[in-house]
Amino acid sequence: MDAATITESVVFFIMSTIVIGGAWGLIYMKRVAHSMMCLIFCFIGVAGIFILLGAEFLAIIQILVYLASVMLVVLFGIMLTRRQILEEDFE
């Protein structure tokens, strides 16, 4: 195995670890904002894997569509959701 193959394998394992870690964080985070950050890491990792596969167009579409559109809608949903801060505020 030459150095390029080893480097590509290492980068793939790093990206796949980011994707798996982001997915686990998305499921187990208690706050919605932290869960959204894990989802962003997951999307970026998938885009990195697309770049490794030579599908740069899919990586750009992944970043533009999911990170720009879907995450913006989720962010507005978080901002517009009224959450009870303290129990004594609503008595």
> What's the Cα-to-Cα distance from 52 to each of 10, 49, 55, 56, rounded to whole Å?
11, 5, 8, 8
Query: Does residue 69 fall inside a structural domain?
Result: yes
- Write out residues in the chain with pLDDT < 70, as ranges: 82-91
Q: What is the residue range of 76's domain?
A: 3-82
Total domains in the fold of the chain: 1
State the pLDDT at residue 34: 83
Let me know if residue 52 belongs to a domain: yes
Residue 44 covered by a domain: yes
Q: Answer yes or no: is 88 within a domain.
A: no
pTM over 0.95: no
- List the structure tokens of 40: 């962003």
CA count, 13 A, side-chain hemisphere, 83: 8
| Structure confidence at residue 88 (pLDDT) | 55
